[in-house]
Amino acid sequence: MLGNFTYCNPTKLYFGKDALDGLNEELPKYGKNVLLVYGGGSIKKNGIYDKVVAILKANGKNIYEDGGVMPNPTSDKLNEGIERAKNAKADLILAVGGGSVCDYAKAVSVSVHCNDDAWGKYFIRFEDVTCDIIPVGCVLTMVGTGSEMNGGSVITNHAQKLKIGHVFGENVFPKFSILNPEYTYTLPKYQMVSGIYDIMSHILEQYFSGTDDNTSDYIMEGLLRSLINSANVAVKNPTDYEARSNIMWIATWALNTLVAKGKTTDWEVHMLGQAVGAHTDATHGMTLAAVSMPYYRYIMPYGLKKFARYAVNVWGVNPDGKTDEQVAEQGLAAMESWMKSIGLVMNITELGATEDMIDGITESTLIMDGGYKVLDKSEIRSIYKKSL
Query: CA nearest 56: which of 11, 91, 84?
Result: 91
The span from the CA of 7 to the CA of 10, in Å, is 10
From the list 26, 198, 217, 329, which residue makes contact with Zn ion (rule: CB under 5 A)? 198
Minimal distance, residue 200 CB to Zn ion, in Å? 10
DSSP 121: I
The span from the CA of 205 to the CA of 184, in Å, is 25
Nearer to ligand NZQ, 37 or 311 (CB): 37
Does residue 180 bind ligand NZQ (CB under 6 A)? Answer: no
Question: What binding mask, one character per residue, do residues 155-194 give for Zn ion by CB under 5 A, x or -?
Answer: ----------------------------------------
Nearer to ligand NZQ, 121 or 284 (CB): 284
Does residue 174 bind ligand NZQ (CB under 6 A)? Answer: no
Does residue 222 bind ligand NZQ (CB under 6 A)? Answer: no
- Residue 183 interface partner, choices Zn ion, ligand NZQ, none, CB cut-off 5-8 Å depending on type: ligand NZQ
Does residue 41 bind ligand NZQ (CB under 6 A)? Answer: yes
Q: How many Å is the Cα radius of gyration of the chain?
A: 20
Q: 127-163 burial, b if ≥16 CB within 10 A, otherwise e?
A: eebeeebbbbbbbbbbbbbbbbbbbbbbbbbeeeebb
Does residue 186 bind ligand NZQ (CB under 6 A)? Answer: yes
From the list 12, 16, 33, 46, which residue makes contact with ligand NZQ (rule: CB under 6 A)? 46
From the list 75, 100, 214, 362, which residue makes contact with ligand NZQ (rule: CB under 6 A)? 100
Beta strands in 83-189 (DSSP E): 92-97, 136-140, 152-157, 162-167, 176-179
Residue 37, strand partner residues: 66, 95
The answer to whether residues 296 and 333 touch, using CB atoms and an 8 Å cutoff, is no
From the list 39, 81, 174, 331, which residue makes contact with ligand NZQ (rule: CB under 6 A)? 39
Q: CA torsion, points 155, 171, 169, 283, in degrees to nearest 10?
A: -30
Minimal distance, residue 116 CB to ligand NZQ, in Å? 22
Does residue 141 bind ligand NZQ (CB under 6 A)? Answer: yes
Minimal distance, residue 103 CB to ligand NZQ, in Å? 5
Query: CA nearest 71: which of 125, 126, 119, 142?
Result: 142
- Looking at 147-155, 218-226, 327-335, 370-378, which segment touches ligand NZQ (CB under 6 A)? 147-155
Nearer to ligand NZQ, 147 or 330 (CB): 147
Query: CA nearest 117: which of 91, 158, 63, 78?
Result: 78
Interface residue list for ligand NZQ (CB under 6 A): 39-43, 46, 71-72, 97-101, 103, 141-142, 144-147, 150, 152-154, 165, 183-184, 186-187, 191, 195, 198, 255, 270, 284
In the complex, the residues that contact Zn ion under the rule CB under 5 A are 198
